[in-house]
Amino acid sequence: MSSANPVSICSNALLRLGGKAIASFEEPSTQAGQCANLWPTVRNKLLRAHPWNCATKRVILAPMAEAPAFDFQYQFQLPSDWLRTLQVGKKDCPIQFRQEGRRILANVTQLPLVYIWLNDNPGTWDDALVDVAELKMMAVLAYPVTASTTLRDTCFQEAAMAEKMAKAVDGQDEPPEELGGSELLEARLGGRW
């Protein structure tokens, strides 16, 4: 568990740029205001970019009282903390659906859903993800703080590399995918052509 929070992430980004640390988004400084405005967008984009283990949830949704006008029998309201849908239906039993706005339309009475949720507590994130968040904030703050487009571009490149590594590490926490037993695969693995 990390001790990170939104203010510490933004403050560390400012320090990396040679700026002054902030103690709160509400302080009367330009940099605190910039961080307060930019942080939610950076956080949400980062969480949506990958099925991070710390931001994945499973729920079973109940249908809304009002049915869709046509094509589907039921509609389901996405959870209030929803950022991105990862899976609709159980793993081996997909469901035909359509997402419209913040609703999912389907022909089932219960809807299993795996999704990215708005985990706005960086203290529950992996340290690598916290580091990526700091680098992303550093990149978006680079020009406002230093007026250097070169530094801004370098920061975005550094953040992109760190994000790739963090995604790879996060993905290693998942069990490996099992390959199905197709005849072609069995023939290739068994040495028969």
Write the pLDDT tens digit of every residue in 136-180.
999 999 999 999 999 999 999 999 999 999 999 998 876 665 655
Number of neighbouring beta carbons within 10 Å of residue 145: 21
Residue 131: Cβ-neighbour burial (10 angstroms; 0-12, 13-18, 19+): buried
Residue 4 has pLDDT above 70, yes or no: yes
Closest CA to 18 of 173, 175, 155: 155
Closest CA to 16 of 125, 122, 152, 127: 152
In tens, the pLDDT along 86-125 reads 999 998 888 999 999 999 999 999 999 999 999 999 999 9
pTM score, whole prediction: 0.85
What is d(CA 39, CA 140) in angstroms, rounded to the nearest whole number? 9
pLDDT of residue 182: 58
% pLDDT > 90, the chain: 84
Residue 30 has pLDDT above 60, yes or no: yes
Q: Residue 94 CA to chain centroid, in angstroms? A: 22
What is d(CA 25, CA 30) in angstroms, rounded to the nearest whole number? 10
What phi and psi values does residue 33 have, to the nearest 5 degrees?
-65, -40
pLDDT of residue 172: 82
pLDDT of residue 91: 87
pLDDT of residue 90: 93
Residue 16 has pLDDT above 70, yes or no: yes
Q: How confident is the model at residue 192 (pLDDT cuts 50, 70, 90)?
A: very low
The mean pLDDT of the chain is 92
Number of neighbouring beta carbons within 10 Å of residue 103: 16
Structural Rg of the chain based on CA atoms: 22
Residue 36 one-letter amino acid: A
